[in-house]
Amino acid sequence: MPVYEFECPNGEITERLEKMDVEEIVCPQCHQIAKKIMSCCTFELKGGGWYADGYASRKK
Ligand SMILES: [Zn+2]
């Protein structure tokens, strides 16, 4: 089974094992919709700075 990564609006990453090709899940931490991340390179398309800041600073 493939492992998919999902990112919510708070920049939290959730890894899930999914049988089917789901596009989004509910973030277990903030309960908002987390969208699937297609690949490691997706971060750069969205802006590396935004991702790095969001992920690092919101881990409280
Ligand atoms: Zn979240």
pLDDT tens-digit series, residues 20-56: 778 999 999 999 999 998 755 444 555 555 555 555 5
Query: Cα of 3 to ligand 1 centre, how many Å?
Result: 18
Query: Cα of 57 to ligand 1 centre, how many Å?
Result: 13
Instruction: State the pTM of this model.
Output: 0.58
Q: Cα 40 to chain center, whole Å?
A: 11
d(CA 26, CA 18) in angstroms, rounded, equals: 13
Dihedral angle sign, alpha carbons of residues 59, 34, 2, 53: negative
Query: Cα of 28 to ligand 1 centre, how many Å?
Result: 7
Query: Cα of 6 to ligand 1 centre, how many Å?
Result: 9
Q: Is the pLDDT of residue 9 over 90?
A: yes
